[in-house]
Amino acid sequence: MYYVLCNPLSGNKQGAVLSQSLISKLPENELKFIDIRTVEDYASFWNTIDFKNDTVVISGGDGTLNRFINSNLDAELPENLYYYASGSGNDFKKDVSPDSDDLIPLHKYIKDLPIVTVNGKQSRFINGIGFGIDGYCCEVGDKKKEKSDKPVNYTAIAIKGLLFFFKPANAKVTVDGVTKEFRRAWIAPTMKGKYYGGGMMVAPEQDRFDPDGKLSLSLLYGSGKLKTLMVFPSIFQGEHVKHTEMVEILRGHEITVEFDRPTALQIDGETVLGVTSYHVSSGKGAAVAEAMATK
């Protein structure tokens, strides 16, 4: 039996329809579709699963995957656990399986995930933390979703924000104990993967299986509106890093970002409003760094 935990709200509210494509991909198997929003008690759900013979598929976007992971931090999960991308951005899929629409085995990707602390609350993330114009785009996008079922054009939101509405903040960042300050920070995401924001390769050199467990903090800063607007599209190809006069990438295990005014933040596409700082610990990598420091 295949249990498909799908999110109808993903993929611009087409998640249920997109999940149905699994029927043709798995023609010889019995599929049971379950609205993942109705699973309030995962302990009870796992008790209904035959861990040897059943398969569980998480179908949705990056936010759906994030919520599933954080709802099952201490749970024993079945060996046959997969992800099917049916979201609007699908940044996790772009990073780990860009050329295939097959099911993605999850276990190796959800081990030792980094921990972000925002407003005193901790959670794990699988792609990245966005702070700045990306958080602003999620905030505006959420408001549009409340008013309409039409697909949200985040690129258009970003361009309008850069030109008219979003104001960059001054940022103080601390990476493994070293502090630097940046004026007019437009973005300051910390990344486990390469992509966020529906295909922006904001951290092109980031390896989610980095042997040292390091994460990448990408900063775009110091520039005016027009210069930023000119460079911004190059993020989709990871070419923004060539503009060293306004882009800096710092790598480490413990990362803190502080803005001088409240700004929306996104965690794997999930919006948190009015944030002035966040802290990330890279999970396993942080323990490795601590162990090396004591030698």
pLDDT tens for 30-46 read: 999 999 999 999 999 99
Last residue of a domain, one of 94, 109, 124: 109
Residue 42 tokens, joined: 């995962």
pLDDT score of 66: 96
Same domain assignment for residues 155 and 185: yes
Residue 270 tokens, joined: 């999930």
Positions in the chain whose pLDDT score sits under 70 = 284-295
pLDDT score of 287: 47
Task: Report the CATH number at residue 32.
Answer: 3.40.50.10330
Same domain assignment for residues 33 and 172: no
- pTM more than 0.85: yes
Same domain assignment for residues 38 and 130: no
Q: How wide is the angle at C-alpha 204 spanned by C-alphas 200 and 205, nearest 5°?
A: 160
Nearest 5°: phi and psi at 289? -60, -40
Task: Report the CATH number at residue 209.
Answer: 2.60.200.40
pLDDT score of 284: 63
Segments forming the whole domain that contains residue 77: 2-109
Q: Which of 263, 183, 260, 265 is nearest to 223 (CA)?
A: 183
pLDDT score of 290: 43
Same domain assignment for residues 27 and 52: yes
Same domain assignment for residues 85 and 230: no
pLDDT score of 48: 93
Same domain assignment for residues 48 and 93: yes
Same domain assignment for residues 42 and 99: yes
Same domain assignment for residues 86 and 175: no
d(CA 215, CA 131): 15
pLDDT score of 145: 82
pLDDT score of 45: 95
Same domain assignment for residues 188 and 92: no
Same domain assignment for residues 99 and 217: no
Rg (Cα) of the chain, in Å, rounded? Answer: 19
Same domain assignment for residues 126 and 161: yes
Same domain assignment for residues 154 and 190: yes
pLDDT score of 180: 98
Q: Which of 138, 172, 173, 147 is nearest to 272 (CA)?
A: 138
Query: What type of residue is 112?
Result: D
Last residue of a domain, one of 80, 109, 138: 109
Q: Are the C-beta atoms of 228 and 158 separated by less than 8 Å?
A: no
d(CA 165, CA 156): 12
Last residue of a domain, one of 60, 90, 109: 109
Q: How wide is the angle at C-alpha 16 spanned by C-alphas 14 and 22, nearest 5°?
A: 115
Q: How wide is the angle at C-alpha 199 spanned by C-alphas 194 and 201, nearest 5°?
A: 35
- pLDDT tens for 267-279 read 998 999 999 999 9
- Tally of domains in the chain: 2
Pairing of strands 104-105, 81-85: antiparallel
